[in-house]
Amino acid sequence: MGARLLVIGSTNVDLLATVPRHPSPGETLLGTGGQRAAGGKGANQALAAALQGADVTFVGAVGEDADAELALAGMRAAGVDLDSVVTVPESPTGLAIITVSQDGENTIVVIPGANAHVGVEAATTAVAGMGEGDLLLMQGEVPRATMEAAARAARDADRRVVLNVAPWMALDHDVLTAADPLVLNEHEAQLALAELGLSPDGDSPEAAATALRVAGTPSVVITLGAEGAVAASQDSPTTQVPSPTVTAIDSTGAGDAFTGALAARLLEGDDLTTAVGHAVRVGAFAVQHQGAQPSYPELDAELP
């Protein structure tokens, strides 16, 4: 068997609405949409990686409700191993309420539901089953204790950890510096710098990535939206990787498309800069289509 990607993360149903612009506080706008689709940062990244050819196992939780099968449908169709997904009778399947404006920008409110029950025991058991060359991918929509326990277990077993701390949570320092790479957007990078007590030499993403690397994180990727990403590792200098220029329709889930594709390429043995170069193209593909999971390209898709 080849190397596998273990994803420990959230799975949601996305409720989608489109508006001409985002409303001001207290304002009501008429919108369109109302569709429901599979989502959740963990499920999104697992699906994106599977569509890019990775052999993926997913650890997560859903409610005992009608949303559960919808939330898992995309991963199931892509062949993701869902044997470690648990059903939590006392909690609903996670829900994300997503509003997209005409310029493609979105706001998201996440109601965790069953994702709050993705527990330490399930996560560490899954990590204990990882083989040589396997890779662990996690995000910030499961409990902090679960992320930290899984990251430490993987580090102690000499398994590579890709950590996307989104949404941000103040993880212990040894967990942040166990990530290889630590994947953040510009805002999250500033929070990580503050958490680690770092003062970079300048306010650029390159300076932030360099500071996080020097602090002990083996590698760092800072995503820049339409500008691409910055990558820093032990083996190469800090590098900005540009994104193809495309017309964005909906940015929902594009960061997850990027991170899942990045993990898939790292699993295949790409160096960090090469993997980021592929991931920015996958992200650029995704923003040209509506929704999160429905926008992700398959391996044979023509990328921008």
- From first to last of its 304 residues, the chain has per-residue pLDDT tens of 689 999 999 999 999 899 999 999 999 999 999 889 999 999 999 999 999 999 999 999 999 999 999 999 999 999 999 999 999 999 999 998 989 898 878 888 989 999 999 999 999 999 999 999 999 999 999 999 999 999 999 999 999 999 999 999 999 999 999 999 999 999 999 999 999 999 888 889 999 999 999 999 999 999 999 999 999 998 888 999 999 999 998 888 899 999 999 999 999 999 999 999 999 999 999 999 988 899 999 999 999 9
Q: Are strands 106-111 and 94-100 parallel, antiparallel or unpaired?
A: antiparallel
CB atoms inside a 10 Å sphere around CB 288: 16
- pLDDT at residue 1, rounded to an integer: 62
Active site residue 256: yes
Asked whether residue 224 is marked as a ligand-binding residue, the answer is yes
Given a contact cutoff of 8 angstroms between Cβ atoms, the answer to whether 244 and 281 are in contact is yes
Asked whether residue 13 is marked as a ligand-binding residue, the answer is yes
Asked whether residue 291 is marked as a ligand-binding residue, the answer is yes
256, 270, 271, 300: which one is catalytic? 256
**Cα(259)–Cα(237) distance, rounded to whole angstroms?**
21
DSSP notation for 225-286:
GGG-EEEEESSS--EEEPPPP---S--TTHHHHHHHHHHHHHHTT--HHHHHHHHHHHHHHH
The angle that helices 272-286 and 254-267 make with each other, rounded to 10 degrees, is 150
Report which of 127, 108, 81, 119 is spatially closest to residue 14, judged by C-alpha positions.
108
Break the chain into its structural domains and give their ranges: 5-22+34-294
Asked whether residue 141 is marked as a ligand-binding residue, the answer is yes
Asked whether residue 252 is marked as a ligand-binding residue, the answer is yes
**CATH top class, domain 5-22+34-294:** alpha beta
Whether the CA torsion 180, 281, 94, 53 is positive or negative: it is: negative
- pLDDT at residue 237, rounded to an integer: 82
Asked whether residue 86 is marked as a ligand-binding residue, the answer is no
Asked whether residue 33 is marked as a ligand-binding residue, the answer is no
- pLDDT at residue 188, rounded to an integer: 95
Asked if the bond preceding 143 is cis, omega within 30° of 0, the reply is no
Report which of 10, 15, 11 is spatially closest to residue 291, judged by C-alpha positions.
15
- pLDDT at residue 154, rounded to an integer: 98
Q: Are strands 32-39 and 12-18 parallel, antiparallel or unpaired?
A: antiparallel
- pLDDT at residue 242, rounded to an integer: 95
Whether the CA torsion 64, 99, 7, 119 is positive or negative: it is: negative
Asked whether residue 40 is marked as a ligand-binding residue, the answer is yes
